[in-house]
Amino acid sequence: MRSRIVWKSSYAFYLAAIGSSFGLGNLWRFPYVVGSNGGGGFVLMYVVLALLVGLPVLIAELMLGQSTQRSSTMAFAKSGSRNRFSHYFIWRSFGWLANAAVVLLISYYAVISGWVFFFFLRFLGGVFEFEPFRLSRTFSFLMENGWLQFGLCVAHLTLAGSIVSKGFREGLERWVGFIMPVFGVLLLYLVVQAVSLPGAGDALRFIFYPKFDNLSWESLIQVIGHVFFTLSIGMATMTVYGSYLREDVNIPAAGFRVTLLDISISLCSGMIIFPIVYTAGHIPGADPSILFKTVPLLFDNLRIGKFFGVAFFLCLYLAALGATIGLLEAGVCDLVDRRSTSRKSATWKLVALLSALAFFPAFSSSLFKTVQYHGMSLLQILDSLLINAVLPLVGLGVALTIGFGDDDAMRFKYFRDLDSVRPRWIYRQWLFILKYVVPVLIVSAMILRWIS
């Protein structure tokens, strides 16, 4: 077997993990689910569950990769076979489910990345004055035009594929290291602008004052699914990134930092979007267009708004590209590990398959407009399948595989930090949460959703 690539440094790994977790989940999906689940109560649950469920599972998923040095299917199978309740097929199927999640997610993630790129082009056109940016037309134009969405999505997948096929690490490290700080500063500036809008008071109350009467039982699984989505858990990416780690990298600290950063970015995004919504006088709605219909309004208010528009959508596009690269890498690495095919051929086969699948969500607002389920478009149906079923199941699989699988000494070895000895009681807490709290929460959330 060929020797496995490893991250050049733990910093490189951090950047890649951050690049994968930071993406459309924070800026596109977070405001949309917060809006549709009634605001503050949901936000509070999100923060608590990101720390209580997301972080422990993220640590476990990285450990799954690091301890087996394999990608999803083989990692689950290898770790599961060390298990007392060893049943090769069961553990392996969690790996397959993680692969299914990758395929499902990229098929519509790439479509939305295409929307972001289109907005970037429109703002760029505005800067050069050859095309004034007209917000009201832009989104509807895009929605009516399935071929345009499909073309943008294929271009996006091709770009991500060309980076992954070359061995993605150097490029990724360089530009995640550059983009993150730039986007961070831009977001903070937009937060300051947004919270000085007239509707900001009501908006902040909406997102930070926890009101639970708007929550349904379904919200619990929605939060858990969203936490997994935004932290890139359950989609094999973190297993694969963990498998490129040397043994001396400190997994719990990495997981903690990635989780905190991810929560902060999501909260910033809420603080930008909801003041605009309240100022424009709309009640927060529940659809995937919220980001695209609000943020450009803020740029209209700013003196050099066009430039902000270009910078914002460019940064967001690059973040979406970083996340897509993480997803693609997971699929490619699994093909390479299992079939020993070359990275190049695995990448292009996968890109071709994903482009074909993306046809359906790309046309969900035109050709397949009539395909609806409980008022959800095809794109939303795919998203809901992923969030409500696939991700919670893979998350459960990760928790059970690591929690009940490896023996204590082995687990502790990967939990511990070589420089500073992590106290054993932190390890014990983590293991308890992983073995009991996470499975009970996920299973009850799934049951409650079905019976309510």
Q: Give contact residues for ligand PHE (rule: CB under 6 A).
A: 20-21, 23-26, 229-230, 232, 235, 237, 323, 326-327
Give the nearest residue (CB) to ligand PHE. Answer: 25
CA separation (Å) from 154 to 79, 132, 157, 179, 227? 36, 26, 5, 23, 27
Closest CB to ligand PHE among residues 146, 270: 270
Min dist. Cβ of residue 331 to ligand PHE (A): 10
Closest CB to ligand PHE among residues 26, 69: 26
Identity of residue 11: Y
What separation, in Å, do the N-terminal and C-terminal C-alpha atoms of the chain show?
50
CA separation (Å) from 400 to 52, 79, 236? 16, 10, 16
Helices (H) and strands (E) in the chain, counts: 22, 0
**Contact status, residue 222 vs residue 37, Cβ threshold 8 Å:** yes
Closest CB to ligand PHE among residues 20, 107: 20
**Contact status, residue 187 vs residue 265, Cβ threshold 8 Å:** yes
Cα–Cα distance between 127 and 61 in angstroms, integer? 44
**Contact status, residue 362 vs residue 150, Cβ threshold 8 Å:** yes
**Contact status, residue 358 vs residue 111, Cβ threshold 8 Å:** yes
Give me 341's structure tokens. Answer: 């095919």
Q: In 145-250, where does DSSP find H-type helix?
A: 146-165, 169-195, 200-208, 218-230, 237-243
Min dist. Cβ of residue 413 to ligand PHE (A): 26
**Contact status, residue 101 vs residue 391, Cβ threshold 8 Å:** yes
Min dist. Cβ of residue 324 to ligand PHE (A): 7
Closest CB to ligand PHE among residues 25, 242: 25
Closest CB to ligand PHE among residues 219, 237: 237
H/E segment holding residue 337: helix 305-339
Closest CB to ligand PHE among residues 145, 162: 162
Cα–Cα distance between 178 and 103 in angstroms, integer? 28
Min dist. Cβ of residue 345 to ligand PHE (A): 22
Closest CB to ligand PHE among residues 184, 210: 184
Identity of residue 127: V
Min dist. Cβ of residue 384 to ligand PHE (A): 16
Min dist. Cβ of residue 149 to ligand PHE (A): 18
CB atoms within 10 A of CB 121: 16
Min dist. Cβ of residue 164 to ligand PHE (A): 12
Closest CB to ligand PHE among residues 287, 408: 287
Closest CB to ligand PHE among residues 327, 402: 327
Min dist. Cβ of residue 232 to ligand PHE (A): 4
Min dist. Cβ of residue 221 to ligand PHE (A): 17
Cα–Cα distance between 198 and 325 in angstroms, integer? 39
